[in-house]
Amino acid sequence: MLALRNSDSRQIILGSMFLQSFYVQYSQFGFNGVLVTLMKNENALAATYLGDAVLATGEDPFSISPFMMTAAVENDGLPTFSATMTGIDAESPYFYIDFSSSKTVVWAINCVQDGIEFYKPGLCSDAPTFTSNAFNGENLTSYFGNFYNETFNGYDVSGVRYMTNICFGDSTSNSSCIDQYVYSGVNIAADEWLLNEDGAYGIVGLSPTSTLWNSFIDPVTR
């Protein structure tokens, strides 16, 4: 019901499915008066009803499952967040968050860097990338196989895609876990973001188009 005393209740947007089921007739009168009459359309949906029956309160279709994120270590003001992931056996893995990307990258146990700037080639866990190489996809399903020169923030990465399970916050809660594919970084060719700084265990993509984001707004999986 619209209430004139509430500023957010003075207008209503009617979608196409509403207009499929109802016929709206506007009648103008006086100086600026408008009378709106609703009638059931001939091609209305089967369950369409127009009346004043009082119905029992149903489940809220707009309810949102809680999504908990626990802050972990901080890198000069840049926060990381705790998460558990199938394929990482480390005690307390932590990740950066990228709200502009839908892709998640994790650093493989055999990750190497090509010799960035004046550094010699070596393990990603050493200078200048300083990543935590902990992801092992040996027992996971490869998803679309290898990838080459994908960009994650300032990282240029090649490796293998896998399907895994990621949990934020309390891993015992189904609402904080999701199955999704990740990019397992085996080679870093460039680091233009966190050079000579902690590279964490990876970067979780949380843009509106990401698998993780969509899983919490989908009415079936939320």
CA atoms in the 13 A half-sphere facing the CB of 93: 24
Q: How many whole angstroms separate alpha carbon 16 and alpha carbon 160?
A: 44
Same domain, 40 and 133: no
Pair 86, 132 in one domain: yes
Q: Which residue has the tokens 């679309």?
A: 144
Q: Does some domain include residue 1? A: no
Taking the C-alpha atoms of residue 59 and residue 222, their distance in angstroms, rounded to an integer, is: 14
Per-residue model confidence (pLDDT) at position 14: 64
Q: Are residues 110 and 194 in the same domain?
A: yes
CA 182 distance to own-chain centroid: 13
Structure tokens at 120: 């010699």
CATH number at residue 185: 2.40.70.10
91 shares a domain with 179: yes
Q: Please give the pLDDT value at position 195.
A: 93
**5 lies in a domain?**
no
Tens of pLDDT along the chain (222 residues)? 455 566 655 566 666 677 778 888 888 888 888 888 888 888 888 888 887 888 788 887 666 666 667 788 787 778 899 999 999 999 889 999 998 999 999 999 999 999 998 999 999 999 999 999 999 999 998 877 899 999 998 999 999 999 999 988 655 545 578 888 999 999 999 999 999 999 999 999 988 888 777 766 655 544
92 with 34, same domain: the answer is no
Specify whether 21 is located in the same domain as 122.
no
Task: Determine, yes or no, domain membership for 6.
Answer: no
Q: How many domains does the chain have?
A: 2
Cα 151 to Cα 147: distance, rounded to the nearest angstrom: 11
Residues 116 and 165 grouped into a single domain: yes
DSSP string, 27-87: EEETTTEEEEEEEE-TT--TT---S-PPPPP---TT-------EEEEEETTEEEEEEEETT
Distance of CA 71 to the CA centre of its chain: 17
Which range of residues forms the domain containing residue 108? 70-217
Whether residue 203 is found in the same domain as residue 121: yes
The verdict on residue 222 lying in a domain is no
- 115 and 140 assigned to the same domain: yes
Same domain, residue pair 103 and 138: yes
pTM: 0.69
Claim to verify: residue 50 and residue 74 sit in the same structural domain: no
How many residues does this entry show for the chain? Answer: 222
Peptide bond into 93 cis (omega under 30): no
Residue 31 lies in a domain: yes
Is 153 within the bounds of a domain? yes
Q: Do 133 and 89 fall into the same domain? A: yes
Residue 164 lies in a domain: yes
Q: Please check whether residue 8 lies inside any domain of the structure.
A: no
